[in-house]
A and B are shown apart, each in its own frame.
Chain A
């Protein structure tokens, strides 16, 4: 990649800002660092789903299933539930691999489906995984059912435990701050992988399949394998995010992996701009933060103005969320920051 001096400077400034960010946020309270961490987690999930939906054009409404698989793999291998306490750098790849297999299991029977039909099957798959987690507590207690698994191990690198605080050179590195830096490293890797994929032969094959499957096949693309690859890669990213979720929460239960989560992740992809990595990141950050901002501002604002709580923040959150989607689709149908191809098409249609 060739970059001009200005671009390099811009990138350096962004890097410095991202490095300093958690300490600034910590001034407002550790809760904000934690919220940021979850936003980054959602960015990871959106980038994973973007491979399936944005690049390959396969509508997946059950993406949260892979997140769940990753989370449960981590929970089972690093908690008192089975008495296993493997280190995170062993479990995360295992979680990614298991999620990848789950992706192929979902992908294989749905290869002939597209659009609405694929959406329905994937939606069913997501629910099946959740219901399995909910019910696999007997006869063999695998998942501990609806009670979930708790006391999950935090990350540990040598003497540094991610659950506690460390003070280095006068700076307090709380648990969430350590997770933040780890998440940023993973995010960087995921972005690089995504960019590489997009510009590769595989990326072009995904686009061709998205546009016309018969023509793609006639052009020599092994449509079956390339579609499975999209499912597998997307699922692996979901699995990694799930593992980190389990470690950060130290608790997982089926309740975290409901259909709503799948829809939320899909909304992030669509709102930001399907297919464009930066758009997807923007969408995920926006939809993660706005609800939290509302949570922290709506209640005090109402108390100050009316002296009582008139509208529950949770209700307002869904309202704002819905309005945001409606307005995006009305005024920026290709997303806030669309892929160049989408944008080009929209502009020329208008011309």
Chain B
């Protein structure tokens, strides 16, 4: 069995008295692409934010050989965990290049950063064309690419992607997922949160289905795509 990169045990998230995530356990192994699918409000984003230590939670989170549930969120990028937040979270008034530089904020290896920048530009040539442009003026799809590119600038081992298809035109969604596929093909471990279940399952090897704060199904993507419950509830068949 491959080594687990991140594992949650009985993870719970509460907002005031309301439980958004009610005790879920899952694992993402090294070099795996795993998705967390489910309807709006199922607790997917809360789960991802809890893993990235952006919101408080209870339960255990194992990352590599460490327990990270007590760590502050800003330390995780240094440990190789990069979050691409919901709604992209780009720095709207900074240029594309400045945004990418912020992705390497925690690093001091200038030569390596310059190399990574070239790699990101190679992967996302659109960003190179717009390097000097203010990020807030990019299209939604370009902003999503920028958010992914910024995360890659941190040289992560694990990429947490929160709804990369959100609010994008179908053509742009295709392009963004192409990037996700390319990054995955290079050996990146990815945990993908998506409402667009079909797309997500097509990219991932395994998936978890979340429903009102609980994981109700867990299987390989192929099995989930064939499952009658998934087909009825999430694939519109």
Residues of A bordering B, CB below 8 Å:
201, 204-205, 207-208, 211-212, 214-224, 341-342, 344-345, 348-349
Contacts and interface: CB of A to CB of B under 8 A. Distances in A.
Contact of A214 (B89, B102, B150): B89
B106 A218 contact: no
B93 A204 contact: no
B127 to A, nearest CB: 16
Contact of B137 (A207, A214, A222, A348): A348
24 contacts: A201-B105, A207-B93, A211-B91, A211-B92, A211-B94, A212-B90, A214-B49, A214-B83, A214-B89, A215-B89, A215-B90, A215-B91, A218-B54, A219-B105, A219-B150, A219-B154, A220-B106, A220-B154, A222-B72, A222-B74, A342-B93, A344-B93, A344-B134, A345-B134
Interface string B116-159: 00000000000000000110110000000001001100100000
Interface in B39-97: 49, 52, 54, 72-78, 82-83, 85, 89-94
Contacts of A220: 74-75, 77-78, 105-106, 154
B164 interface: no
Nearest to B53: A217
Nearest to A212: B89
Nearest to B160: A218
A204 B95 CA distance: 13
A212 B98 CA distance: 14
Tell me the dominant secondary structure on chain A's binding face. Answer: helix
B103 interface: yes
A95 to B, nearest CB: 32
Contacts of B105: 201, 204-205, 208, 219-221
B36 to A, nearest CB: 18
A342 B90 CA distance: 16
Given A215-B85, A218-B85, A348-B137, A341 B93 contact: yes
Interface of B: 49, 52, 54, 72-78, 82-83, 85, 89-94, 102-103, 105-106, 133-134, 136-137, 147, 150-151, 154
Contacts of B52: 218
Contacts of A221: 74, 105
Nearest to B133: A348
Given A207-B94, A212-B92, A224-B72, 4 more contacts: A211-B93, A216-B91, A220-B154, A344-B134
B74 A217 contact: yes
Given A219-B103, A220-B154, A345 B93 contact: yes
A208 B91 contact: yes
A216 B78 CA distance: 13
Contacts of A219: 77, 102-103, 105-106, 150, 154
Nearest to B75: A220
Nearest to B89: A215
B82 A218 contact: yes
A207 to B, nearest CB: 7
B180 to A, nearest CB: 18
A208 B150 CA distance: 13
